[in-house]
Structure 1
Amino acid sequence: MLFKPTKNMKKIIYALILPLVGVSGLVLASRERKHEASETSTSKPISAADRKAALKKWEATPDGIKYKKWEASPEGKKVYASEAKLRKYIRAFTNMEAVVTSLSLPPGSRVGLGVMVRINGEDYILSFGPEKADKNFTNEFQPLLSLKVNDKLIIRNHWVSHAPKYSYPIVSGDYVERDSTLMYKRAPRQGGC
Structure 2
Amino acid sequence: MKKVIYALMLPLVVVSGIVFANREIKNENTKKPSPKPLSVAERKAERKKWEATPDGIKYKKWEASPEGKKVLIGSAKIRKHITAFTNMEAVVTSLSLPPGSRLGFGVMARINGDDYIVIFEPEKSQLEQLHSLKVNDKIIIRSHTVSHAPKYSYPIVSCEYVERDSKVIFKRVPRKGGC
Instruction: State the TM-score, normalized to the length of structure 2.
Output: 0.90
- Check whether the contact 2:93–2:136 (CA below 8 A) recurs between aligned residues: yes
Structure 2's unaligned 5+ residue stretches are none
Corresponding residue for 2:127?
Answer: 141
Q: Where does residue 89 of structure 2 map in the other structure?
A: 97
**Pairing of 1:103-118 with structure 2 (within 5 A):** 103-118=95-110
**CA positional deviation for 1:183:** 1.6
1:18 is matched with 10
| 53 and 192 in structure 1: CA distance in 2 versus 1, 3 angstrom threshold | farther
Seen in structure 2, the aligned counterparts of structure 1 residues 181 and 17 have a Cα distance that, compared at 3 Å, is farther
Cα RMSD (Å) of the superposition?
1.9
C-alpha distance in structure 2 between counterparts of 1:12 and 1:178, whole Å: 83
CA distance in 1, matches of 2:55, 2:141: 33
**Matching of residue 160 in structure 1 with residue 152 in structure 2:** no
Question: In 1, Cα distance between the equivalents of 2:111 and 2:146?
Answer: 13
- CA–CA separation in structure 1 for the residues paired with 2:171 and 2:105: 14
Query: Are residues 22 and 80 of structure 1, via their aligned partners in 2, closer, same or farther at CA, if it must alter by over 3 Å?
Result: same
Aligned 1:51-90 pairs, distance under 5 A: 51-90=43-82
1:5 paired residue number: none
**Distance across 1 between alignment mates of 2:6 and 2:167:** 76
Q: Aligned partners of 1:109, 1:70: CA distance in 2, in Å?
A: 18
Q: How many residues align?
A: 179
Aligned to 2:113: 121
What is the rounded CA distance, in whole Å, between the counterparts of 2:134 and 2:14 in structure 1?
71
* TM-score of the superposed pair, with normalisation by structure 1: 0.84
Q: Which protein has the larger Cα radius of gyration, Structure 1 or Structure 2?
A: 1
Note the residue ranges of structure 1 that are not aligned, 5 or more in a row.
Answer: 1-7, 132-136
Report % sequence identity: 69
